[in-house]
Amino acid sequence: MNTQENASAALQLRHITKTFGAITANEDVDLELRRGEVLAILGENGSGKTTLMNMISGIYRPDSGEICINGKEVSINSPKDAFAHGIGMVHQHFKLVDVFTATENIILGIKEKGGFSLKRSSARVAEICERYGFDLDPNKKIYEMSVSEKQTVEIVKVLYRGADILILDEPTAVLTPQETDKLFNVIRRMRQDGKSIIIITHKLHEVMEISDRVAVLRKGRHIDTVNTADVSESELTDMMVGQKISLNIERTLSEKTPDRLIVSHLTMYSKEGVKVVDDVSFTARAGEILGIAGVSGSGQRELLELIAGLRTPESGDIIYNDPSDGKAVDLRKKTPMQIRDLGVRLSFVPEDRLGMGLVGNMDIIDNMMLRTYRNGRPLFLDRQPSKVLADDIIKSLEVVTPGPTTPVRRLSGGNVQKVLVGREISSAPSVLMAAYPVRGLDINSSYTIYNLLNEQKKNGAAVIYVGEDLDVLLELCDRIMVICGGAVSGILDGRTAEKQEVGLLMTKRKGAEQ
């Protein structure tokens, strides 16, 4: 690296490595942010973007490597240190006090020269807003604000503290297209003013629109940094997803694949009024694994919870074809209890294992009972069948545990997942939904889970697999449905689909300009 480059760099990372236990989040990452540029950071889920940014903003410390600001090596031990070096991060989840005004939130926690004066601070906030074109009333209370206004407060907050380097973590995820345009205008003004900006986003068209350069991360490593003007979207996708890696996951072809679950025009709004599931239609067939690919937070969770009866759709239908009598049952607006009473064998391995699928403080036996505790004699529990099931799962899935009476929160991630998946498949489901079932699991446990899903497929279950690793999706699934921003952007054949094709669909928002 020559010295000339160093001089123009606002921020430089050299050989940064960070591990969490056995997992390497970042490995030997070099990154350079030039003064007065917008650098986009692109990468799939789990590629290490957030960890890297957290090291710059003082939340984590790198295990090795160094961080230079304006050519000088620094040590950033806390967010306070980061601010002292002029680094400010705007997180995806806002950290604001609801009952305070914008100004009060902005000055919270800083000691100002000349004492505390809300009036003076307010004037300064207004001045910053004017300078960069923010649309913000300094005296408005947070709870009266829209999501976009709250984000503005967060950005002004870091500017107020004198940040020269701004890190924006997926700032457009919560915004409407109009609000995004406004934000981009502000970013351009900040760039003109000499600020250096890092923006994390999954949306390729936004990368093309706003950034000067793009740094691509993949599996914790820095692949390359290129000038945005010199690359196309498909070249970026190639860099992001990489070459296909063969995993040798077994995939059989079922002879008969009758339609089991027919979802049509399903739409749901979040509490904030955002369309999180947008006119989704698909069919899950028996004896088939349907993969769902997409950037996390694209509506996967909501979609599965809608099918499981945990949420109510705004509109659309969920039709289940009963394999025993061939009758069609409408599952829409049914509670999980009603669904089970209809004789529908629907199993669901949720993303949040200990917070939803299991009870962490209960032992394995009592967790086995969650689905079946209503069976048996009236009023009192019958723990015996659950005991048998627990022993059976511990043995057949090789769960590492001191015994069936150990609380599940004491087990390691892989073993927790085995307990959960084991329970869910014990009822011989006709539909099995699994959300990120191998997240955080080691290779061996992951293959155990793949085998279990394949076994269910062979037994004639319609399996729905929500995953993030494209290589796995491409080898495991018969068909892959790609969703983006809550809408289906394509359904591909798992045997013929190309990785790049999936990657591109993941960032292709319905109705957005390409």
CB closer to another protein, 360 vs 490: 360
Question: Which two tokens mark 446?
Answer: 């992951």
DSSP code for 410:
G
- C-alpha 508/C-alpha 488 separation (Å) is 10
Q: Three-state SS for 498?
A: coil
Min dist. Cβ of residue 379 to another protein (A) = 6
Question: Which two tokens mark 181?
Answer: 């345009």
- C-alpha 293/C-alpha 386 separation (Å) is 34
Parallel, antiparallel or unpaired: strands 221-227 and 259-269: unpaired
Min dist. Cβ of residue 481 to another protein (A) = 23
Return residues touching another protein (CB under 8 A). 14-15, 63-66, 75, 77, 308-310, 335-337, 339-340, 348, 350, 352, 355-362, 366, 369-371, 373-374, 379-381, 410
Q: Which amino acid is at 3?
A: T
Min dist. Cβ of residue 479 to another protein (A) = 27
Q: Name the residue among 418, 404, 408 with its Cα closest to residue 362.
A: 408
CB closer to another protein, 372 vs 454: 372
Min dist. Cβ of residue 253 to another protein (A) = 33
Min dist. Cβ of residue 13 to another protein (A) = 10
CB closer to another protein, 273 vs 402: 402
CB closer to another protein, 194 vs 355: 355
CA angle 327, 321, 372 (to 5 degrees): 100
Min dist. Cβ of residue 64 to another protein (A) = 5
Min dist. Cβ of residue 62 to another protein (A) = 10
Q: How many CB atoms lie within 10 A of CB 403?
A: 11
Please check whether residue 431 is in contact with residue 344, taking contact to mean a CB–CB distance below 8 angstroms: yes
CB closer to another protein, 188 vs 371: 371
Q: Three-state SS for 439?
A: coil
Residue with tokens 């960069």: 132
CB closer to another protein, 408 vs 472: 408
Min dist. Cβ of residue 5 to another protein (A) = 15
CB closer to another protein, 406 vs 459: 406
CB closer to another protein, 223 vs 370: 370
CB closer to another protein, 5 vs 181: 5
DSSP code for 46:
T
> Phi and psi (nearest 5°) for 115?
80, 180
- C-alpha 199/C-alpha 237 separation (Å) is 17
For residue 311, give every residue at least 6 positions away whose Cβ sits within 8 Å of its Cβ, in sequence order, or none: 268, 302, 305
Min dist. Cβ of residue 361 to another protein (A) = 5
SS (H, E, C) 213-260: EEEEEECCEEEEEEEHHHCCHHHHHHHHHCCCCCCCCCCCCCCCCCEE
